[in-house]
Structure 1
């Protein structure tokens, strides 16, 4: 029901609701006296919006004498969906700040903090699947299946039953449980969930900390009752995880929760294994690879306090938690922490703000900290704790540069590298080859007329893939084409694949090392549910094998049997126009190199390059990333680039590039008229590095200022004007503190 102005003047009961629509306001709704009495700030409510029925979050209960918003007609709500708040005040404050800081609609920001089922208006209380044994003497029946034996032993430890999600976290998949049920050994019951917090017990004694680790642990423990940001700057393999675990133990003993963020889903099996071996307690896993039901159950475990440890990727920083006492951001430098579409937040910066709201410590850990984090240390906003030696008896690997301009090669692999690989494999060790390019070949070329297979919708080449069949694939817009039999321009055949992708190198390795397992890790090989978990298990077997992969292999993994690492093609990172490219390249080299020699045997690293004299390599050969970072900070300061100036990136895309640039130019002039003189510097508008993508042209404009509050103040006034002025064909987005300018 809609009420006009004459009716609403006498209407005392109203609430303000954040609704998931691309508008920057929250909206007033009417409700009955009985509903008003039980309505809770932070609870969900079903409301009408135009012709839609949407689920919003109550952000305010309006006093009976509060003023009405004359721009909107008041409608009655459909229903209150929760009796209790599902977002506590701290999280509401965090999301409100994030919406304002990143210039994004508040309703959509709040929806991003909810699991999908709650966004749809489903009831909060879902039944949990609980497994229990029916036969306590069935072990003899399971001799043929190691997985079923493992599941049986876990279930035997929990005679009252255990949740399916906990079994899954222990590496038991549902097919194993169903097999036990089919044999009459176990059964599954649907039960009301118990959200009472579970006590945490130490399952394994801590390792002996070295001097650097002890100092770091002591400094962090001094800050447990207040806000303090720490940058844990430790060499690869220096034992950052042990520092996390020992600090976590003290926080958990106080009955508080710990949130641990990792950049990729692929890191969760390794991390959760470390946590489970150290602590007996409820661990909730939050990432996009979960089913909707499991994600909701994990979210509820965090929100109610049932889970003491919450392990998740980027979006977990937005989830509510009952009693959060410590935040850990592992691999804090990683670009994956920055959301690149829609609500473009940076999990690192949101985590720092959340820790400040909670007055709890936060640890940012990395072997290659971001330049921004080093700058925060220089400003005394973060305390730097250094780990300068590898844990245990492991030593740093020796690095070598192979000059590809003179080296003899076989299919992109130098003879020197192949010789070293054969030595390591003969000693039953593992070799890791890094190539940040999936597919078979990045270019399909006609040798007669130089025609190249290009995407019809993007300014990019189509990549040749040979699995599951030969086809061309655009990694930018997703276009797939069949493999041409001849050149469409001159009819010449055959066409020649140029360059190397992981699939092509895999074929080469299978020929050169036919008796050695080749384990490929990229987005193609890990696309199936559970595939990464199986690959992870295979890698951790102590036997000769070759690991081949993209950045998924570079991010914090502990591979104890890898003694030789080779980076096959690092030169592309030296050619980018983005000022952050050297930083990304340096981080990648150090991170990939750090996978070598983490066990008892010494490791070595080989860099294949056509630019062996590049200054970046000379610095990193000494494993001196910190020296590189300080040089980079000095260069950024001279050029007045971030973090010495604050940036906001505007992206415009339409079917016509002229219109993009004309519109952005008009909006630039409007902003400069409204802002204080010389406060804001504007770069552009200019075409994007990839000007055409998915059939639409893109242009960029960057706003820079030394004064972040004033920059945000003027952009906040200007952005709604820009949205009103654009036409339907034009898409625009705003990226505060952009991490990529492409």
Structure 2
């Protein structure tokens, strides 16, 4: 009898996204039993080179899939998850992001996981549960208000409650540990309950005005399908109330709502608004959480237990089984764009995610980005306007002070000093804005003109007096002690030029000794909980002067502030960055919007050396929308973004000549092979040519055809990476928001 054909044994393989700087997934073998268990979206432990790495299965290859006999495959080391932890829609979103932003798929997948899961830790962590031991302990807690409050909350939960819930209620872990030392409560580890918590209303909604009602009804008509909305509302026009009423209808249906805010500083006040309106599980996701709390919040979202997910930009990649609505508050904010590594823009990713999830997405701002305005002009987004402030509040009036002619005292015009004094005497609050922290931006020698410059950057040192007198470079982080005399001529007189927030704080304390000056910048809010304490203080009706940087411009509600002063905006008026006018206009309008949000009318005073600048004239005589319309026309005429698509290559090495030669060589190849569909600017030195001891150069690519730009970029960029010298650093920024 003839021999029956011998069929080769099936080879079971999965494709794994591994967190390395390579652009493809990698195939690994596994047994038939493991193949049956393996799930797309689950984690595996694999050997890669000499390392053991945690990867994500992105594809199960069929057993008969062709295999190159020259390739020797490794076996996976371990299946870490029985079930996928990233669902198919999130995997699709991450794959699209890796392709669009031209970044390695394994790194992108890795960035979507909490730190503990990236380390290979088990998915099912036990929750820290706090329970009372002594329910008659009031007498022991007379000296500590925090402990009294924690004790009262614990009494409401006789069977115990999780540390995460207590933290959301404002109870700090340190307070719980203090009670544990007194043997009033104890901590136990229990399996977490991931069953969904139904939403109930804790507080009735406000009555919307006509603009708010129209916006709410329009969005709710688009439930269960993709539609993008731009909620273009004046500062103080009640955008949050619109969000809350739309969320209420979505939550009633058992759906989840994802809310993104630009920075951690906005989350305390936002979460308090949500908690006061809704009884449901709220998951908080931002970089200020420790690893275990972030994982618990992520799991609550991923399992469907959390109804509201509130987070910063990275939360856009959180798996959500019942997503019904996405909201981006302050959508214009630059914080939504990742500026290092995987340079995604959460706003654009949110639009694509809503498309995948078949749900509406709302982008809200008083100063929408020019990119978003362009989408409404193209019919890709519906614009909803809120044209009146909520309640009795009126829009503040902007006054321009010409610093060339104004009489000044300690950096403030006499007119401004008089106006501040009037408001404080009326027991109102004043906000002073200066986007420059530290004491002084320049230290100079009175004799020879020497300036204190960072030895590693093309930038001056900033003088700081806290926690000790020192010079600090805000670009590379270099810190030096302030010299006692000029290093160049040994002159003993060194003086400061310009003012940072610390110097202005000192001046204000001298000018207004009877009133508190509260400074809000990175230096004053670096300690955990410090910003929340400052925010609570501002919410009292006590007269005070609030002084700070951009942290104060981001959507905060300060009901007792009636006067806002902007001390120095001229740098933004002179910048060569094409987006600088847009950023400057947004900053002015956002800061101005903190005034007059309560019962009293607000005023804004803007000190400038360029009172006749067209941007200021447009904002004072018309409004931000007029500025946006004019900017769109100018960008269209010049064929600048959003009317052309852009990619920025940043090149960094110890030699500017090396940067220029390398970029020029590759730019020439692209010019010759891109069918003249791509316009190439450069190579040119970066605006700050030397930073941290290394030289930087830029190459800018522009095209009206996005698909062709990405087509040529893909192979060209990977070829650049393959040929770059080992001492050179390259990065690709798709749709760059800054050219620094």
Verify same fold: TM over 0.5. yes
Q: CA deviation at 1:150?
A: 2.5
Alignment partner, residue 4 of structure 2:
none
1:567-586 to 2 correspondence within 5 Å? 567-586=566-585
Query: Which shifted more, 161-170 or 54-63?
Result: 161-170
Measured after TM superposition, the shift of residue 59 of structure 1 is 0.3
Stretch of structure 1 that moved more, 615-624 or 729-738: 615-624
Question: What aligned pairs does 1:236-635 form with structure 2 within 5 A after superposition?
Answer: 236-622=235-621, 624-635=623-634
**Is the 8 Å Cα contact of residues 10 and 64 (structure 2) preserved in structure 1?**
no
Counterpart in the other structure of 1:728: 726
CA contact (8 A) 1:653 1:731 kept: yes
How many aligned positions are there?
Answer: 734
8 Å CA contact 1:11–1:30 kept in 2: the answer is no
Range with greater deviation from structure 2 (115-124 or 146-155): 146-155
1:143 CA displacement: 4.3
Query: Pick from 711, 716, 719: which aligns with 2:717?
Result: 719
Q: CA deviation at 1:11?
A: 5.4
1:684 matches 2:682: yes
Maintained 8 Å contact 2:485/2:493: yes
Distance 1:730 1:516, change over 3 A: same
Spell out, residue by residue over 1:491-538, the C-alpha distance to the aligned partner (whole angstroms, 9 max, x if none).
111211111101111111222222222111111111111211211112
CA contact (8 A) 1:25 1:106 kept: yes
Q: Distance in 1 between matches of 2:69 and 2:364?
A: 50
Deviation at 1:642, TM superposition (A): 0.3
2:670 and 2:506 map into 1 onto residues whose CA distance is 55
What is the match of residue 157 of structure 2?
Answer: 158
User: Is 1:235 equivalent to 2:234 in the alignment?
Assistant: yes
SS at match of 2:74: strand
CA–CA distance in 1 between the matches of 2:523 and 2:86? 37
Aligned-residue RMSD, C-alpha: 1.3
For the residues of structure 2 that align with 1:122 and 1:342, how far apart are their CA atoms?
A: 24
Structure 1 match to 2:707: 709
- Structure 2 CA distance, aligned partners of 1:622 and 1:113? 46
**C-alpha distance in 2, partners of 1:539/1:188?**
35
Task: Answer yes or no: is the 8 Å Cα contact 2:131–2:186 preserved in 1.
Answer: yes
Q: For residues 132 and 665 of structure 1, do their structure 2 counterparts lie closer, same or farther at Cα, with a shift above 3 Å needed? A: same
Q: Distance in 1 between matches of 2:548 and 2:578?
A: 26
Residue 671 of structure 1 is matched in structure 2 by 670
CA distance in 1, matches of 2:181, 2:665: 69
Q: TM-score, normalised by structure 2?
A: 0.98
Q: Once the 2 structures are TM-superposed, how far is the Cα of residue 10 of structure 1 from its aligned partner?
A: 4.8
SS at match of 1:621: helix
Question: Hey, what's the Cα distance between the residues in 2 that align with 1:309 and 1:145?
Answer: 32
Counterpart position of 2:3: none
On the 8 A contact 2:81/2:123 being kept in 1, the answer is yes
Tell me, yes or no, if the aligned pair for 1:91 and 1:318 is still in contact at 8 Å: yes
Retained in 2: the 8 A contact 1:645–1:706?
Answer: yes
Counterpart Cα distance in 2 of 1:460 and 1:555: 27
For residues 708 and 508 of structure 2, the distance between their equivalents in structure 1, rounded to whole angstroms, comes to 57
- State the 1:625 CA deviation: 0.3
Write out per-residue CA displacement over residues 280-301 of structure 1, whole angstroms, 9 at most, x where no aligned residue. Answer: 1111110001111111111111
Query: Displacement of 1:140 after TM fit?
Result: 5.0
Deviations 1:292-348 (A, max 9, x none): 111111111111111110000011101111211100000000011000110000000
SS across alignment from 2:224? coil
Report if aligned partners of 2:649, 2:700 keep a CA contact under 8 Å in 1.
Answer: yes
Asked if structure 2 preserves the Cα contact closer than 8 Å seen for 1:258 and 1:326, the reply is yes
In the alignment, structure 1 residue 741 sits paired with structure 2 residue 739: yes
Q: Which secondary structure does the structure 2 equivalent of 1:563 belong to?
A: strand
Residue in structure 1 matched with residue 30 of structure 2 by the alignment? 31
State which of 693, 696, 704 in structure 2 corresponds to 1:695.
693
- Displacement after TM superposition at 1:456 (Å): 0.6
Mapped contact 1:14–1:31 kept (Cα < 8 A) = yes
* CA-CA distance at 1:543 after TM superposition: 0.4
| 1:133 Cα deviation from its structure 2 partner | 2.5
Task: Name the SS of the counterpart of 1:75 in structure 2.
Answer: coil
Residue correspondence of structure 1 range 92-111 to structure 2 within 5 A: 92-111=91-110
Q: Secondary structure at the match of 1:684?
A: strand
Tell me by how many angstroms 1:174 deviates: 1.4
* CA apart distance, 1:617: 1.1
Instruction: For residue 137 of structure 1, report the CA deviation from its aligned partner.
Output: 4.0
Q: Once the two structures are superposed, what CA deviation does each residue of 1:46-69 show, in whole Å capped at 9, x if it has no partner?
A: 000000000000001111111235
Inter-partner Cα distance in structure 1 for 2:458 and 2:68 = 47
Q: Matches of 1:264 and 1:105 in 2, distance apart?
A: 26
Q: Would you say the 8 A contact 1:258–1:327 is kept in 2? A: yes
More displaced stretch, 408-417 vs 350-359: 408-417
Single out whichever of 149-158 and 58-67 deviates more from structure 2: 149-158
**Are the counterparts in 1 of residues 45 and 52 from structure 2 also a CA contact under 8 Å?**
yes
Q: Deviations over 1:106-159 (max 9, x none)?
A: 000000000111111111111111122333344454444332333233223322
Moved more, 536-545 or 282-291: 536-545
CA apart distance, 1:380: 0.5
Instruction: Give yes or no for contact 1:20–1:111 (8 Å, CA) kept in 2.
Output: yes
Structure 1 distance, partners of 2:362, 2:149, is 35
Matches of residues 65-214 of structure 1 in structure 2 within 5 Å?
Answer: 65-68=64-67, 72-139=71-138, 141-214=140-213
Question: Is the 1:590–1:623 contact (alpha carbons within 8 Å) kept by the matching residues of 2?
Answer: no
Q: Contact conserved, 1:302 with 1:321, CA < 8 A, in 2? A: yes
CA distance in 1, matches of 2:336, 2:69: 40
Q: Does structure 2 retain, via aligned residues, the 8 Å contact 1:434–1:566?
A: yes
